[in-house]
Chains A and B, each alone.
Chain A
Amino acid sequence: MVQTEERVSSGGIGRYLLVYVGILILAGLQFVIAYQHIDGSQMFARMFLIAVAEAGLALMFFMHLWEEKRGLLLFVAIFTLFVIGAMQYSWPDSFRMLVGVPTTPTTPLPH
């Protein structure tokens, strides 16, 4: 939110258009990947990488993170990695939904 009128006049709409076209191309690429006959985890990895690239472009240029102080940029990057890392803690637990409540030899199966 440190944008000034000088900065607005220095950067034209051309850069926004370039980023916009870039995001559209990346979005189109996801549709191409969706119709490739590849392994599910491979597809997930590719789509995730493209989505991160799209989001990165939107964050950096549409939301002007690139023009902010480098300290804030670093904070957002580290905080994002922390959140994604913290999500890894809970995601594996959600796989229990595929097999139901885990059982041990001492606990009988629910009827």
Chain B
Amino acid sequence: MIMTFILISSSLTMLIAIRAAKVGDKSGAFLWTMITAAGGILFAILHLREWFSMFDEGATLFHNPWGTPLFGASFFSITGLHLLHVLGGVVALIAVGIRYKGGRYKADDLEITGLYWHFVDLVWMFVVPFVYLLNVGH
């Protein structure tokens, strides 16, 4: 729930950054882009924390102490690929944000990075119900 909140909120901060960039507020756009990247880093930290607690309970890519081993493979593959995209997005946000502030990139470049970030958020909207929530009540 907290991770979902962080990721959706980071989409909002990205929108604020793009809006600032479109009106020529470079420092504002840079600041909000970095806040977005910080949201991504926080999401990744919480995700890894969750992973390590699962490792402690014996769940790995090929082993599931609670049932079918296929769960471990599915869970770590899906969430791992999503996490990789988040981390890639964080690197892109920082790189594009710095270059935008330095004058090498334009507002459109920041907007393209924003589209990527929103898409990562969009994928998470499907990962949460189908990977986490579908069996939580049973």
Taking Cβ atoms with an 8 Å cutoff, the residues of A that contact B are 1, 3, 5, 8-9, 13, 16-17, 20, 23-24, 27, 30-31, 33-37, 40, 43-44, 47-48, 50-51, 54-55, 58-59, 62-63, 97
Taking Cβ atoms with an 8 Å cutoff, the residues of B that contact A are 1, 4-5, 8-9, 11-12, 15-16, 19, 22-23, 70, 108, 111-112, 115, 118-119, 121-122, 125-126, 128-130, 133-134, 136-137
* Complex Cα gap A100–B17 (Å): 51
Interface centre among B1, B5, B8, B70 (most CB of A within 10 A): B8
* Complex Cα gap A59–B23 (Å): 22
* Complex Cα gap A84–B61 (Å): 28
Q: Are B125 and A51 in contact (CB under 8 A)?
A: yes
Q: Are A9 and B129 in contact (CB under 8 A)?
A: no
Q: Are A5 and B23 in contact (CB under 8 A)?
A: yes
* Complex Cα gap A20–B9 (Å): 8
* Complex Cα gap A27–B70 (Å): 26
Q: Are A31 and B133 in contact (CB under 8 A)?
A: yes
Query: Contacts A27-B4, A97-B70 hold; do A44 and B134 have CB atoms under 8 A apart?
Result: yes
Chain A residue nearest to B16 in the complex (CB): A13
A-chain residues with CB within 8 Å of residue B108 when the two chains form the complex: 1
Which label, helix, strand, loop or mixed, suits the secondary structure of the B interface? helix
Q: Are B118 and A8 in contact (CB under 8 A)?
A: no
A67 to nearest B CB, angstroms? 12
* Complex Cα gap A40–B136 (Å): 11
* Complex Cα gap A5–B111 (Å): 13
B71 to nearest A CB, angstroms? 12
Q: Are B23 and A9 in contact (CB under 8 A)?
A: yes
B-chain residues with CB within 8 Å of residue A63 when the two chains form the complex: 115, 118-119
Query: Contacts A8-B23, A13-B19, A63-B119 hold; do A30 and B133 have CB atoms under 8 A apart?
Result: yes
Q: Are B12 and A55 in contact (CB under 8 A)?
A: no
Query: Contacts A55-B122, A59-B122 hold; do A8 and B22 have CB atoms under 8 A apart?
Result: yes
* Complex Cα gap A59–B45 (Å): 27
Q: Are A5 and B133 in contact (CB under 8 A)?
A: no
Query: Contacts A1-B111, A27-B4 hold; do A51 and B126 have CB atoms under 8 A apart?
Result: yes
Chain B residue nearest to A23 in the complex (CB): B8
9 pairs across A/B with beta carbons < 8 Å? A8-B23, A20-B8, A27-B128, A30-B128, A30-B129, A40-B134, A51-B126, A54-B125, A58-B125
